[in-house]
Amino acid sequence: MNRMKNATFRQLQLFESIVRSGSYTGAAEELHLTQPTVSMQIKKLSGLVGAPLFEQLGKRVFLTDAGKELLEASREIFGAMSRFEMRMADMKGIKQGNLNLTGVTTAEYFAPRILGAFCQIYPGIKVSLTVTNRERVLRRLTANEDDLYIVGQPPADMDLVMTPFLENPLVVLAPPDHPLVGVKKIPLEVFAEERFIMREPGCGTHIALDRILSKRNLAFKSCMELGSNEAIKQAVAGKLGVSTLSAYALSHELQTGELAILDVEGFPLEYHWYIAYPRGKQLSVVAQTFFDYLMSEGKKLTQRHLPRLDQPA
């Protein structure tokens, strides 16, 4: 593998861009190159490795085993270079560099507010936030694709550093004219008779509900399954059923009266948001700066925007 010493940083950038975009064309567009140039450089890189890096199926390309090994090595190289650049900036008293965050879908209701204030303090830091479902977040976490991750329910089968930074009350939402609005201490058995709109299996709220119901040998009458918080809110407002979401997802609807919170036994469920990363991972200067900010000013900023849960009937 001494031939790999001749591989250039630019070739590795091209290779990584193809992996992310899923095509040579996507990488060419991202890096402002022609497709023949990208193809030629990847051919040279494959020659240095001594094995094909991609196999093509239709219009998309997929990694070979050799490609998977090179991707892991490339990310280590990119990470080392990024840490070096940021340490140099830190030595000069300048906070600059890249911060890549991934969070579960409900993070979109509070993370941008934190990041906006953070970027005002550190304008030299370029921030990227990916918001997706829990399954994809855990997949990215396993692959160590980002600097930090925002999750709700801690995964039990992963060795992570998990630090709680914000309360995450899960509440029961219903249309404002629902017969149970205003009723105090609704028994869980009564609530379980309602038509329930669920998030996809495996998401944080789904796990939390399974936990509380299993203790009472109850099961919801699930009437539909939706893949986003916004879809669930619209379905509840349309009187298709009731549901459970993080209170952070409901600020607007509670203020306008489009939705109401039911006073159900055992609710709100008191959980937390966690900032996570793989155990053993060395945080970059920028990631550590954001982590410290999140645990102090960012936490206080977000708590001020948590909606009141004692909504009038």
For the chain, state the CA radius of gyration: 23
Say what the alpha-carbon torsion angle 178, 182, 185, 188 is, to the nearest 10 degrees.
0
DSSP string, 1-20: -GGGGG--HHHHHHHHHHHH
267 and 198 part of one domain: yes
153 and 200 part of one domain: no
Domain count, the chain: 3
151 touches 287 (CB < 8 A): no
Task: Please tell me the distance from the alpha carbon of residue 247 to that of residue 8, in angstroms, as a whole number.
Answer: 49
Q: What is the pLDDT of residue 52?
A: 92
11 and 132 part of one domain: no
Segment holding 208, helix H or strand E: helix 204-214
110 and 60 part of one domain: no
**3-state DSSP call for residue 63?**
strand
Taking the mean position of all CA atoms in its chain, how far away is CA 227?
A: 14
State the helix-helix crossing angle for 285-293 and 111-121, rounded to 10 degrees.
Answer: 120
Task: Please tell me the distance from the alpha carbon of residue 149 to that of residue 140, in angstroms, as a whole number.
Answer: 9
Does residue 260 sit within a domain? yes
Q: pLDDT 10s digit of each residue in the chain, 313 long?
A: 566 667 888 899 899 889 888 888 888 888 888 989 999 999 999 999 999 999 888 777 889 999 999 998 888 888 778 777 766 766 665 577 889 999 998 889 889 989 998 898 888 889 999 999 888 999 999 888 999 999 987 787 889 999 998 888 889 999 999 999 999 999 988 888 888 888 776 666 667 777 777 777 777 777 788 878 899 999 999 999 999 898 888 888 888 889 999 999 988 988 888 999 999 888 888 898 899 888 877 766 665 655 565 544 3
Whole-model pTM: value is 0.65
51 and 15 part of one domain: yes
Across-strand partners of 276? 149, 162
Q: What is the pLDDT of residue 282?
A: 85
98: left (phi over 0), alpha (psi -120 to 50) or beta: beta
The domain that holds 7 is classified in CATH as: 1.10.10.10
297 and 176 part of one domain: no
| Cβ neighbour number for residue 175 with a 10 Å cutoff | 16
Does residue 77 sit within a domain? no
Q: What is the pLDDT of residue 313?
A: 37
Q: What is the pLDDT of residue 312?
A: 42
The domain that holds 225 is classified in CATH as: 3.40.190.10
| Domain of 118, in residue numbers | 95-166+272-303
66 and 140 part of one domain: no
Cis amide prior to 268 (ω within 30 degrees): yes
173 and 201 part of one domain: yes
**How far is CA 206 from each of CA 69, 146, 248, rounded to the nearest angstrom?**
35, 25, 17
Across-strand partners of 198? 225
Does residue 86 sit within a domain? no
52 and 180 part of one domain: no
